Chain A
Amino acid sequence: MVTLKEVSDRFDVLFEELGKVVVGQNEPLKEVFAAILCNSNALLESYPGLAKTLSIKTLASVMDLSFSRIQSTPDLLPSDITGTFIIQESGRGKEFKFQKGPVFANVVLVDEINRATPKTQSALLEAMQEKQVTVGNNTYKLDEPFFVLATQNPIEQEGTYPLPEAQADRFLLKIKLDYPTFDEEMEIVNRYAENNKIPALRKVFNKGSIEYLQELVKQMPIANDLKHYAVKVVTDTRKKKDLIEYGASPRASIGLILASKANALINGRKYVSKQDIDKMAFPILRHRIILNFEAERNNLDEDEVIKRLLK
């Protein structure tokens, strides 16, 4: 049995290794890692050029997991994601062979998912939900751990297919990336404008340890009153009719508890604290609530409304 101290030290090393490549973005990366530990998927909303691909690729590398990237376009087909049968010549002649698509990786980055058609989106979402892909009459299981990080560009909404709320609900977290600070940007410039060599990274985790950590997250204890508090936060989204049109589903309650447990583990604690719930409430709820006109009229965004719920 690995002690919690060893686990905590490993996390420190992980973020240290990530820091060698990615400047800043510590909190968003922790949230991405929390989604991985919860055996779920995440939605990332950021402006272009904020090192989304670099961050997730580095994370996959440090965890010794295979990585693939899918750039969504309106002409992207489901088979471009799942794979398709191709004719291959062999000693016995020509035969159909299944060519695995980019979804057959441990970590899949789907860039600008809102650009793909609903049919393509649903193919990906099926893979996320079932952890398997069906092509024709054949079902292919995906390698675990399996994690999808889908990104959305908040600008350039023309010609896009926004994810329906029911589908967005399947993503555990919606993570927001913000611009780096001035000092961080100076550091970025120093590293990448003057020296393009990416340093060698250590492998901190592997598949087995990730699976072990996922089990550990589920075992993390939480006090009954905190559980009560977390569920209350979610149910309050359905009651706050003055600002919220539609509230979050029970899936959000499960997600909030799990994400809080993951956050506690990442911070080296053996218990869930109220701060974990308050912190994870934002990425859990911001894509699950629909604000009404009154909120928009008052220039309130989802985070502002969630902050009011937590008071």
Chain B
Amino acid sequence: MKLIDKALRELKLSLLIVNLVSIFVDSLIILLICVLLSMIIGFHWVYSVVPFIGFLVYRLLKFYQAHLLRKVETKVPQLKEILRTAADNSKSEYEIVKMLHEDVVMGMKNVKTSYFVNFSDLFLRLVVLCSVAFLIVVVGVINIQFQGVGNLIGNIDLPFLNDDEKEQIDIEDAELKNVEGDINIYGEASLAELSDDKFNVEMSPIESDININDVSDAEKKDFFPPAFPREIYTRYDGSFNERLPKDNQRIIKRYFKSITS
């Protein structure tokens, strides 16, 4: 292999490494920013990979189409135009071309890799990278989320969930909706329409069907695994079950139904 070919190959390899590192760092920044945004908005982090891949492909394509040697010439003025000419005529055996190759090889000895690395720019990118990573940790710890955005977008069909998780959500949705005779979870609207009449209620302990001795404090019941909607985030749950006998429960239900109907 001719000396000019070796020199050009070495130069192109160095430029390739420098540019790939730069592209990777930029893509990583984009990925982290997208992860941060997805955490804040409430999307699954896997969606952040899409813009990352898109950006990576775009930058790689741009790099492939770029004239590397032209960039070298802008950094090293003594090689202006002759580097490209020598590269395009590397196979030529003419004496004048050989003389040109010699000049280019001499000029390339003055080319340093540091010419193509903008250290201040690289430092800035690393600072941005670290800052975004830190922000991700902070957002995760403090749990900052803009729920409104997720709600505005609505129930998005998340393709990454498995079938069991989807079924559990469907069951919970059904339970929420399955209130006996009552569609509106806020209760009957007619209850708000009370009149101004006085309502006297007298309860006779003798004639009542309720035995007060059977009523005690509600006992705490723990549910495991926890069954609450996915939208609600909680670190602790517990529930309290009334210790009313079943018959008394029925009486109370019937009573309230009769006064509201």
A positions within 8 Å CB-CB of B: 1, 3-4, 216, 219-226, 270-274
For residue A222, which residue of chain B has the nearest CB? Answer: B85
- A221 to B81, Cβ gap below 8 A? no
* Any A CB within 8 A of the CB of B88: yes
B86 CB contacts on chain A under 8 angstroms: 221, 271
- A272 to B96, Cβ gap below 8 A? no
- A271 to B95, Cβ gap below 8 A? no
- A270 to B96, Cβ gap below 8 A? yes
* 10 interchain pairs, CB-CB under 8 A: A219-B92, A221-B96, A223-B84, A223-B87, A224-B88, A225-B67, A226-B81, A270-B96, A270-B97, A271-B86
* Any A CB within 8 A of the CB of B89: yes
Q: Is the interface of B mostly helix, strand, loop or mixed?
A: helix
- A272 to B95, Cβ gap below 8 A? no
Q: Given the known inter-chain contacts A225-B67, A270-B103, please indicate yes or no for A219 contacting B96, CB distance below 8 A.
A: yes
- A221 to B67, Cβ gap below 8 A? no
Beyond known contacts A223-B87, A270-B99, A271-B100: 19 more, CB 8 A cutoff: A1-B95, A4-B96, A216-B96, A221-B86, A221-B92, A222-B88, A223-B84, A224-B88, A225-B67, A225-B84, A226-B81, A226-B84, A270-B82, A270-B97, A270-B100, A271-B82, A271-B86, A272-B85, A273-B81
Q: Given the known inter-chain contacts A270-B82, A271-B81, A272-B85, please indicate yes or no for A221 contacting B95, CB distance below 8 A.
A: no
Q: How far is A225 from B96 in the complex, measured between Cα atoms in Å?
A: 20
* Any A CB within 8 A of the CB of B186: no
For residue A265, which residue of chain B has the nearest CB? Answer: B96
B96 CB contacts on chain A under 8 angstroms: 4, 216, 219-221, 270
Q: How far is A223 from B88 in the complex, measured between Cα atoms in Å?
A: 6
- B88 to A221, Cβ gap below 8 A? yes
* Any A CB within 8 A of the CB of B223: no
Q: How far is A224 from B85 in the complex, measured between Cα atoms in Å?
A: 7
Q: Mark interface residues in B65-87 (1 if CB within 8 Å of A CB, else 0).
A: 00100000000000001101111
Q: How far is the CB of A216 from chain B (nearest CB, A)?
A: 6
Q: How far is A273 from B82 in the complex, measured between Cα atoms in Å?
A: 8
Q: How far is the CB of B143 from chain A (nearest CB, A)?
A: 56
Among A4, A223, A272: residue with most chain B CB under 10 A:
A223
- B95 to A223, Cβ gap below 8 A? no
Q: How far is the CB of B95 from chain A (nearest CB, A)?
A: 5
Q: How far is the CB of A270 from chain B (nearest CB, A)?
A: 4
A224 CB contacts on chain B under 8 angstroms: 84, 88
For residue B92, which residue of chain A has the nearest CB? Answer: A221
A221 CB contacts on chain B under 8 angstroms: 85-86, 88-89, 92, 94, 96-97, 100
